[in-house]
Structure formats: C-alpha cells, structure tokens
Amino acid sequence: MDSTTEVLDDERSGDGVTGDGGADNRVADDRAPDDRLPYDRYVHADTLHRLQRTTTDNPGEMSFLMISQIMELYFKLIDFELRAAQRALRGDEVAAALSPLRRAALHLEGLNASWQGLRWMSPADFNRFRANLGDASGMQSAMYRHLEFRLGLKTASLTRPHRGNPEQHEALRRSLAEPSVWDDAIAVLARHGYDIPAALLDRDHTVEHEPDTAVEAAWADVLADPSPDNHVRRLADALTEVAEQFAEWRYRHLSAVRRAMGAKSGTGGTNGIGWLEQSMNRVVFPELWSARTRV
C-alpha cells in the first residue's frame, strides 16, 4: 500500500478523534475504574454527561449543545466507516467495501434525524442564547471537514481556521491531500478495465475532482449491467445511498438555519443561508448522477 493507506490506518488522523477507539481517544474518569459499573467503564457515560456545559440557563441551549455533540459523534462514526471502505477499495476488495458504505449511509440517516430535536426552535428561541456562542460556528468543526474531504469536497482554504491548533491543522491537511472515496472508486473502475484517463489516477488530490466524460461513460456501463454478481454495480448503489443521505443532511441543515435565524449572518462570519445554499450546489460523486442520463 502507499503512504495514503498508512494515513487512513493512523488512529490519530483527524486530531486524535477519527481512530478506532485506542488509548489516545480515551478520556480519564475522575474515579478509579474499579468504582464504576461495567457499562460506564465501557461507554464512559459519566464523562459524556459532564460535557454539557451551557453558557446560559436557557433550556434551548441545552438542546442546541447536546444535539451538536451528537452530530460530532456521528461525523466521527461516518468518517470511520468511509475510511474502512477506502482501505477495501484500495486493496481491490470491492465486495468488502459494500458493508462499511451501507453502514455509513445508515449512520447518515441517524445524523439527519438529529435535526428533529431542533425543529421547535424559532428565531426568538435561538436569540435567547445565540449571543453567548460568540464566533463559534458549526463550520469550524474539524471532524465535519474531514468528512467533507473524505467525500471529495475539497477546499484548501477551509483548513485555515484550524491553524491555531497545529495538530488538528496538520491532520486536516493530510485528509485534504488524500484521495477521496470517489477517487478510490474511480481507481477501481480503471483496475476493472474501464477506460479512465491516467491524469485522473495520478493527480493533486488537494484539488476537488472535476467531472469527466470518461468517468461518466464508465459508470453508465456499470449501471447498465444488471448482473447480480456485478460488485462494481453494487458499489455504485452503495455510493449512491451515501451521496443521497449526505445531500439530505445539507438540506436539513439549511432548513434548520432558515427556521432558527432566517437570513441573518452566521455566527462564524459566513452569510448563513447563502453559504449553505452555495455548498449544496457541489455534488458528491458527480458522475454517478450524470451517468444515469446515458443509461
């Protein structure tokens, strides 16, 4: 395997929070392990329940904070599954990549359902604690940025807000430079005999993939083959589910912002709805969608 595979296997990738639950990811409990019930010892429930430190007494802030934390955990879980799928794809084990991709899609469903807990929040409700957020914004989430990079949405400038944390910044730069899931899927096409330009297989992965007609034609051929043993077709189906669920995530995010703050500027300095609408125009796995017109 190449060096990018080593990065995928590195438990410290993503500022120490995208690994497989190793010692670096554990948070010490105040009590000796022997004083804890086995469930708490395994789940670290006491630690989790001490992390909800609101800045106001407003109950809406508790909802906002906890759901944000739940989303962070989902980002990590989805990224974990996508990295497992990439390892399989790079080993040309297409069938083995299907399960982590399907799990990633299911986890994205769970992530999307998290927005339900904030549907009650009106602009007046949000304003009761919004000022206490200061410049904090979801767009500053390092784990979400890892997830976007993993899905092929590459924007180098979005690593800059993390320069104050050198370890986190370097982890993001590594994720930016790695092939995305889509890059690895295109490489699978080439290994399976499809005519993929060499320039697409050996390129600067810090730059977002541009849709290519050869890739589109290859996926059209894959989608047109109904053979039950066509693992590449099953790969296309699994990738489609991931892409659909991620698109749903972005739509629900936009809807939640509209509901809670209208067209106000975002707390992180973005133009709020405008930023989110623009981001929705960037399609995940683009040729997987355009190929359907050819079939």
Helices 181-191 and 231-261 cross at an angle (nearest 10°) of 160
- 74, 31, 34: which is closest to 50 by C-alpha? 31
- Residue 203 annotated in ligand binding: no
Q: Residue 103: CB partners within 8 Å, gap ≥ 6?
A: 81
Q: Does 267 belong to an annotated binding site?
A: yes
128 is in an annotated binding site: no
Q: How far apart are CA 82 and CA 144, in angstroms?
A: 13
> Which three-class secondary structure string do you get for the chain?
CCHHHHHHHCCCCCCCCCCCCCHHHCCCCCCCHHHCCHHHHHHCHHHHHCCCCCCCCCHHHHHHHHHHHHHHHHHHHHHHHHHHHHHHHHCCCHHHHHHHHHHHHHHHHHHHHHHHHHCCCCHHHHHHHHHHHCCCCHHHCHHHHHHHHHCCCCCHHHHHHHCCCHHHHHHHHHHHHCCCHHHHHHHHHHHCCCCCCHHHHCCCCCCCCCCCHHHHHHHHHHHHCCCCCCHHHHHHHHHHHHHHHHHHHHHHHHHHHHHHHCCCCCCCCCCCHHHHHHHHCCCCCHHHHHHHHCC
Annotated binding site: 130, 253, 267
Q: Binding site residues for heme, as ranges?
A: 253
Instruction: Return binding residues for substrate.
Output: 130, 267
